[in-house]
Amino acid sequence: MPSLSLRINLDPDGRIGPGKIELLEQIAAFGSISAGARQMKMSYKHAWGLVEDMNRVFGKPVVATSHGGKRGGGAELTPVGLAVVSRFRAIERAAAAAAEPHISALQADIEAA
Amino acid sequence: MPSLSLRINLDPDGRIGPGKIELLEQIAAFGSISAGARQMKMSYKHAWGLVEDMNRVFGKPVVATSHGGKRGGGAELTPVGLAVVSRFRAIERAAAAAAEPHISALQADIEAA
C-alpha cells in the first residue's frame, strides 16, 4: 500500500521532515542527544546540527540540556519540541487520511489504462 | 506561510515527488522530453532516467514518444502519465487542506511557548 512522506517548508529556508522528527522522538525516549543519535545511526555532531537547525527555524530551543548531577546530564524536549513532534505526527495522519481516496483512485486509473 | 512538500512511496522502492511530477508537466507542455528537461535545468539523460523510473514504478509507460514526421517526433503523456499528474496534484491539495489547521495550531503553540 502506498504511503505518504511529508515535509513542512518553513520560512525562509527551514524544512522539517520525518528524519528530524524521529530524532526528537529518540532524544525524548532516551533522555540524551548522543543516545538519540545512536538510535538514528548518525554522529553526535550531525544530530546536534539538526537540533540547532530546528532551534533556528522555530526561533526557540526544541531540546533542553542539563549538565552534571548523578546521571551526568541529559536532554529533554522543550514545550516547543513536544509541540513540533505531536503536531507533525497529527499533520501526517490528517494528510494521509485526506490523500487515501486519491491514491486508491490513482491505482484504479493505472490498472484501467 | 508554511507549505507541505509531499512524496508518495510506492512498492517496493519507487518514490514520486514534486520534481518528477513537474517534469511530466513540462514534457506535456512542450511536447518533448528534451524541452521538458531544459525547462527543469536537467540533462536529457537525467530526465529520461526519471521517466524510465516512473515507467517501472507504475508498470506502464507514462510518456509516449513518436519519431519522424514534419516536426521530427515528440513526446506526450500517456493516460497513465496524465492520471499520475492530476492525481498527485489532487493529493497535494487534499493533504494541504487537511494539514492547514494543524500547521496553524503548531504556529500558535510556538508563539505561546
pLDDT 10s digits, B85-113: 999 999 999 999 999 999 999 999 999 98
If phi > 0 it is left, if psi is from -120 to 50 it is alpha, else beta; for residue B73 that is left
Taking each continuous run of H as one helix and of E as one strand, the counts in chain B are 4, 4
CB-based contact, B19 to chain A, within 8 Å: no
CB contact under 8 A, A109 and B79: yes
CB contact under 8 A, B106 and A83: yes
Model confidence at B1: pLDDT above 90 = no
pLDDT bucket at B12, cuts 50 / 70 / 90: confident
A85-111 pLDDT, tens per residue?
Answer: 999 999 999 999 999 999 999 999 999
CB contact under 8 A, B8 and A8: no
Q: What is the least distance, in Å, from the CA of A70 to any CA of chain B?
A: 29
Look at residue A14 in the predicted model and tell me its pLDDT.
87
For residue B8, what are the β-bridge partners?
A: A4, B16
**Domain boundaries B16-112, corresponding CATH code:** 1.10.10.10
DSSP A60-76: S-SEEEE--TTTT-EEE
CB contact under 8 A, A103 and B87: yes
Question: Shortest CB distance from A9 goes to which of B3, B78, B98?
Answer: B3
Q: Look at strands B3-10 and A3-10 and give their pairing.
A: antiparallel
Look at residue B13 in the predicted model and tell me its pLDDT.
79
- In this prediction the ipTM stands at 0.85
- Chains A & B: contacts with CB separation below 8 Å: 117
Q: What is the mean pLDDT of residues B25-46?
A: 96
- What rounded mean pLDDT belongs to chain B? 92
Q: What is the least distance, in Å, from the CA of B78 to any CA of chain A?
A: 9
Residues B83, B58 contacting (CB under 8 angstroms): no
For residue A9, what are the β-bridge partners?
A: A15, B3
Distance of CA A86 to the CA centre of its chain: 9
- What rounded mean pLDDT belongs to chain A? 92
pLDDT bucket at B68, cuts 50 / 70 / 90: low
Look at residue B69 in the predicted model and tell me its pLDDT.
60
CB contact under 8 A, B99 and A103: no
Q: What is the least distance, in Å, from the CA of B35 to any CA of chain A?
A: 26
Residues A95, B95 contacting (CB under 8 angstroms): yes
Nearest-by-CA chain A residue for B13: A2
Question: Shortest CB distance from A6 goes to which of B4, B11, B59?
Answer: B4
CB-based contact, B80 to chain A, within 8 Å: yes
Report how far residue B11's alpha carbon sits from residue B14's, in angstroms, rounded to the nearest whole number. 6
Model confidence at B9: pLDDT above 70 = yes
Burial of B89 from C-beta contacts in 10 A (0-12 / 13-18 / 19+):
middle
Model confidence at B71: pLDDT above 80 = no
Q: Is B67 helix (H, G, I), strand (E, B) or coil?
A: coil
Least confident of A41-45, B2-6, B23-27: B2-6
Element holding B75 (H helix, E strand):
strand B74-77
Report how far residue A19's alpha carbon sits from residue A40's, in angstroms, rounded to the nearest whole number. 9
A24-72 pLDDT, tens per residue?
Answer: 999 999 999 999 999 999 999 999 999 999 999 999 999 999 876 665 5
Residues B23, B37 contacting (CB under 8 angstroms): yes
Report how far residue B43's alpha carbon sits from residue B58's, in angstroms, rounded to the nearest whole number. 23
pLDDT bucket at B48, cuts 50 / 70 / 90: very high
Nearest-by-CA chain B residue for A91: B99
CB contact under 8 A, B98 and A97: yes
